[in-house]
Amino acid sequence: MSSLLDIQDLKVCYGGIVALNGISFSVEEGQIVTLIGANGAGKSTTLRSIMGLVPITNGTIMYNGEKINGMDTRRIVQMGLVLVPEGRRVFPNLSTLENLKIGGYLQDKASEQRNLERVYDLFPRLKERYWQLAGTLSGGEQQMLAVGRALMANPKMIMMDEPSLGLAPLVVRDIFSIIKKVNETGVTVLLIEQNANVALRTAHQGYVMETGNITMSGPGMELLDNEEVKYAYLGKSR
């Protein structure tokens, strides 16, 4: 089976600093895959380099059978691969609806309406709050908006950078149940998380990153049970 996303030997440097030291991993179509790791491990760099937002030093990034490294970000989005960035980055002075429409700007009017209805189905809260300035939404609502905005591009695959960051446990639970629902509608998910517990419970497949390298991989539930992972990422004592 060929993967939807296949990364081989990806190396990224910032100046003289090596952020990704030749990592390889893949995401099968239809799955939820997570990359977990501590601060500075290189998680965001991985997503940003896949989107063409930082130049890569070495390696290949294959998406849907095409090599996308070196491609324009806009073209990558048109191919159905989108990013929900770290820290949500909604436009605070625009309404919920205006933010959603920005996510669909590459679509025609008819598909914009279809996508909007789909987003409102997943997030009834966003429908209720369509008029509200995004900057006045709660943290959890802003995260929903960031995911909804990405879905407005009608993606085949969505990548999310730490969707649980700064949210209360109950809200994190809501966000992850929505991520599962999105996946059940056929969207492949690559999820970056420091919250290893919830990420590994949700994911079909997981990878552990440490300072620019992938050090472990396996089915989410297996990693959750791994002694090293328990000690380093789940706070268990030896």
Ligand X SMILES: Nc1ncnc2c1ncn2[C@@H]1O[C@H](COP(=O)(O)OP(=O)(O)OP(=O)(O)O)[C@@H](O)[C@H]1O
What is the Cα 178 distance to its own chain's centre? 13
Strand ranges of the sheet holding 81-84, from the earlier edge strand across to the other edge: 81-84, 157-161, 188-193, 32-37, 205-210, 213-219
Minimum distance of Mg ion from residue 166's CB (angstroms): 13
* Residues whose CB falls within 8 Å of the CB of residue 172, separated by 6 or more in sequence, listed in order: 164, 195, 198
Q: Of the listed pieces 80-88, 95-103, 116-124, 170-178, which binds Mg ion according to CB under 5 A?
A: 80-88
Of 22-30, 32-40, 58-66, 197-205, the window that binds ligand X (rule: CB under 6 A) is 32-40
What would the two tokens of residue 238 be?
Answer: 């030896």
Binding to ligand X, residues 188-207 (CB under 6 A): 194
Q: How far is the CB of 110 from Mg ion (least distance, A)?
A: 36
CB of 44 to Mg ion, least distance (A): 3
**Total residues contacting Mg ion (rule CB under 5 A)?**
3
Rule CB under 6 A: choose which of 17, 65, 110, 170 binds ligand X. Answer: 17
Site residues for ligand X, 95-124, by CB under 6 A, read: none
237 binds, among Mg ion, ligand X, none (CB under 5 to 8 A by kind): none
Contact positions with ligand X (CB under 6 A) in 34-63: 37, 39-45
Could you tell me if 106 and 161 are in contact, meaning their C-beta atoms sit under 8 angstroms apart? no
Burial of 73 (0-12, 13-18, 19+ CB in 10 A): middle
C-alpha to C-alpha distance for 157 and 83, rounded to whole angstroms: 9
Which of 82, 116 has the CB closer to ligand X? Answer: 82
Q: Which does 105 bind (CB under 5 to 8 A by kind): Mg ion, ligand X, none?
A: none
If one asks whether residue 140 binds ligand X (CB under 6 A), the answer comes out as no
Task: Look up residue 230 and give its amino acid.
Answer: K
- What the block records as the tokens of 186 is 């056929």
Q: How many Cβ atoms sit within 10 Å of the Cβ of residue 11?
A: 16
CB of 127 to Mg ion, least distance (A): 30
> Which of 3, 26, 31, 44 touches Mg ion by CB under 5 A?
44
For residues 76 and 62, what is the distance between their CA atoms, to the nearest angstrom?
Answer: 11
Residues contributing to the site for ligand X (CB under 6 A): 14, 17, 19, 37, 39-45, 86, 194
Residues contributing to the site for Mg ion (CB under 5 A): 43-44, 86
